[in-house]
């Protein structure tokens, strides 16, 4: 054993670290389509729901009919009063057209999906399978919004350009816990997307989520230094100690 071997081993350390970083980068970049998912429970403010309930009560047919009849003071016929009631109710009735028959709080769970094309070509035939039917809003890479009028359990996007980004908001009925336990499948013509689901983490889970890669690299570095000490430095030291001293 000699110092030359130790120097060789020491100079090989950057190569090991670069290999670790390169392997991590290759694993992360092997997918051309990346998707970030996050669930959130959304409830309308109590002030809004109370006001909304008050509006629906005031639009009751009998109440409107009696109020219009009283204002007309006998000058309006039954048919005329009915037409005025219909005209008064029409703008608010449209709020409860499908799929909002049960009011604004029927879809309390929101799923946010952000799609990114990180590859070097256009991605085609993107297909998203949702865990349930929901109300869908899509914003393309030109920041143009598309609102789907019907409930959907799957979404098709014809293409996403290179470096393009799509954002999707899907509002579901039901509870957050049940939906969060079901998978969202995202694929395209050449494969499947790399999906990351973001959840709030605390304690040890938060530390691992933030510093996991650094901890692994640190452990590998410690093992490398340990091997250098045990297999190079200690044998060199013993070899030098074993040499006879010259008088």
| Domain segments of the chain as ranges | 32-43+105-192, 48-96
CATH T-level topology, domain 32-43+105-192: Immunoglobulin-like (2.60.40)
Confidence of residue 176 (pLDDT cuts 50, 70, 90): confident
Exposed (0-12), middle (13-18) or buried (19+): which is 134, by Cβ within 10 Å?
buried
36-44 mean pLDDT: 85
Return d(Cα 22, Cα 220) in angstroms, integer.
15
Among 11-20, 82-91, 99-108, 119-128, the range scoring the smallest mean pLDDT is 11-20
**CB of 161 closer than 8 Å to CB of 141:** yes
pLDDT at 9 over 60: no
Return d(Cα 36, Cα 150) in angstroms, integer.
24
* Model confidence pLDDT, tens digit, residues 224-245: 666 666 665 666 666 666 666 5
pLDDT at 154 over 70: yes
* Model confidence pLDDT, tens digit, residues 214-226: 666 666 666 666 6
* Model confidence pLDDT, tens digit, residues 55-74: 878 888 999 999 999 999 98
Confidence of residue 13 (pLDDT cuts 50, 70, 90): low
Return d(Cα 61, Cα 85) in angstroms, integer.
7
């Amino acid at each position: 054993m000699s110092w030359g071997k130790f120097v060789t081993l020491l100079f090989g350390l950057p190569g090991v670290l670069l290999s670790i970083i390169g392997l991590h980068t290759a694993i992360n970049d092997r997918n051309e389509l990346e998707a970030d998912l996050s669930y959130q429970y959304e409830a309308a403010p109590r002030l809004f729901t109370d006001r909304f309930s008050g509006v629906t009560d005031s639009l009751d047919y009998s109440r409107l009919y009696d109020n219009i009849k009283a204002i007309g003071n006998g000058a309006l016929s039954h048919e005329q009063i009915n037409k005025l009631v219909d005209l008064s109710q029409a703008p608010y009735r449209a709020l409860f057209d499908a799929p909002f028959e049960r009011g604004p709080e029927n879809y309390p769970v929101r799923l946010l999906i952000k799609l990114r094309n990180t590859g070097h070509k256009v991605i085609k035939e993107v297909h998203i399978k949702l865990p349930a039917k929901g109300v869908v809003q899509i914003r393309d890479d030109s920041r143009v919004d598309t609102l789907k009028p019907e409930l959907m359990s799957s979404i098709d996007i014809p293409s996403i350009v290179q470096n393009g980004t799509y954002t999707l908001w899907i509002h579901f009925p039901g509870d957050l816990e049940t939906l969060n336990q079901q998978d969202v499948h995202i694929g395209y013509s050449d494969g499947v997307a790399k999906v990351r689901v973001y959840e709030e983490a605390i304690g040890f889970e938060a530390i691992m989520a933030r510093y996991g890669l650094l901890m692994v690299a640190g452990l590998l570095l410690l093992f490398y230094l340990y091997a250098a000490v045990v297999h190079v430095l200690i044998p060199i030291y013993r070899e030098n100690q074993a040499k006879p001293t010259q008088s």
